[in-house]
């Protein structure tokens, strides 16, 4: 089995053809050029193909393409041509895009009928990895698209988080944080994908285990424009285990003492009986308040 992790050396090696390492991974396919596709510059793997021969990468991690960005690229193609070929593989009589769907869509907007295509022999696992690398290097995916792509990449290759991170040149904690986004409910994922909340907000929401509480906190973020720090504080509060319920009954004498001491000291007092002993807890809320309590106890 080929070590597709070496694709992490980048698209320059994939497209340039100068690296022996990349050639060992993506072996040029001996193609029989169809009548609708002519070779370019005498290179048997670089062809000029009809746009109708191309079909999208089924492993493309990007689910949305910005219309304004595509039109800008289309204008650039009209002025200077397509400077970089689309990379594709032959599959079921079609050219299946490995890298360059954005360029293909822009070419359609520009009204082109034919585009340069570099034909390569690539398996499904490499298809996903190349598409992921291309988007990371050129037009960043949104965090949810990255999270789903990394999950698929790991499943297809049976990789660890460290291996997946190495494959695309990212730190393992970065990949780990992205993968955790897959645990979020669809409502939260959608908010992250459209940029309504940040990765920081999403990580804080992961600390809220109760689904309904998590959705309520998401609504507060959207309605009140809460900062990440504020969400982290609220999430930490909700994540704390519920305090133990007070005993159903309490010695009437101790309950009366607790009430009278609270009134005398002007603060919360708790008396807990434990067998022949017990515990007296006096609360204070500032240094000044502590001094007041001490004075009432005759300690100052």
How far is Cα 192 from Cα 189, in angstroms, rounded to an integer? Answer: 5
How far from 30 is each of 36, 46, 89, 124, 151, CA to CA, in Å? 17, 11, 11, 19, 33
Beta bridge partners of 94: 91
CB of 182 within 8 A of CB of 151? yes
Q: Strand, helix or coil at 100?
A: coil
In sequence order, what are the residues at sequence separation of 6 or more whose Cβ sits closer than 8 angstroms to the Cβ of residue 97?
54, 55, 56, 57, 60, 86, 87, 88, 104
Burial of 8 (0-12, 13-18, 19+ CB in 10 A): middle
- CA 178 centroid distance within chain: 4
Please choose, from the candidates 60, 40, 44, the residue with its C-alpha nearest in 3D space to the C-alpha of residue 134. Answer: 60
The residue from 101, 134, 145, 258 that is catalytic is 101
Alpha helices, DSSP H, located in 158-246 = 161-168, 172-180, 186-193, 199-205, 211-224, 228-239
How far is Cα 102 from Cα 29, in angstroms, rounded to an integer? Answer: 23
What are the structure tokens assigned to 205, written together? 């929401």
How far is Cα 193 from Cα 205, in angstroms, rounded to an integer? Answer: 15
**Is-catalytic flag, 232?**
no
Question: What count of other Cβ atoms lies within 10 Å of the Cβ of residue 239?
Answer: 12
The counts of H helices and E strands in the chain are: 14, 8
Active site amino acids: 101
């Amino acid at each position: 089995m080929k070590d597709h992790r070496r694709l992490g050396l980048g698209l320059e090696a994939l497209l340039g053809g100068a690296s022996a390492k990349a050639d060992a991974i993506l072996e040029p396919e001996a193609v029989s050029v169809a009548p609708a596709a002519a070779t370019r510059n005498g290179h048997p793997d670089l062809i000029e193909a009809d746009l109708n021969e191309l079909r999208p990468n089924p492993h493309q991690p990007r689910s949305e393409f910005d219309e304004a960005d595509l039109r800008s690229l289309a204008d650039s193609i009209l002025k200077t041509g397509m400077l970089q070929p689309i990379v594709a593989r032959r599959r079921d009589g079609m050219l299946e895009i490995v890298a360059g769907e954005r360029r293909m869509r822009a070419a359609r907007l520009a009204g082109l009928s034919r585009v340069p295509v570099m034909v390569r022999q690539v398996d499904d696992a490499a298809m996903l990895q190349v598409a992921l690398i291309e988007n990371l290097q050129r037009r960043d995916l949104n965090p949810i698209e990255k999270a789903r792509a990394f999950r698929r990449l790991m499943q297809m290759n049976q990789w660890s988080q460290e291996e997946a991170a190495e494959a695309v040149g990212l730190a393992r904690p970065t990949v780990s944080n992205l993968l955790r986004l897959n645990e979020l409910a669809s409502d939260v994922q959608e908010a992250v994908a459209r940029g309504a909340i940040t990765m920081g907000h999403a990580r804080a929401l992961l600390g809220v285990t109760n689904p309904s509480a998590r959705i309520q906190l998401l609504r507060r973020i959207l309605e009140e424009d809460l900062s990440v720090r504020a969400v982290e504080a609220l999430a930490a509060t909700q994540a704390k285990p519920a305090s133990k319920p007070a005993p159903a009954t309490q010695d009437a004498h101790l309950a009366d003492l607790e009430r009278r001491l609270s009134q005398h000291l002007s603060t919360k007092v708790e008396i807990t009986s434990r067998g022949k002993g017990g515990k007296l807890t006096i609360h204070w809320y500032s240094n000044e308040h502590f001094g007041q309590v001490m004075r009432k106890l005759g300690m100052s």
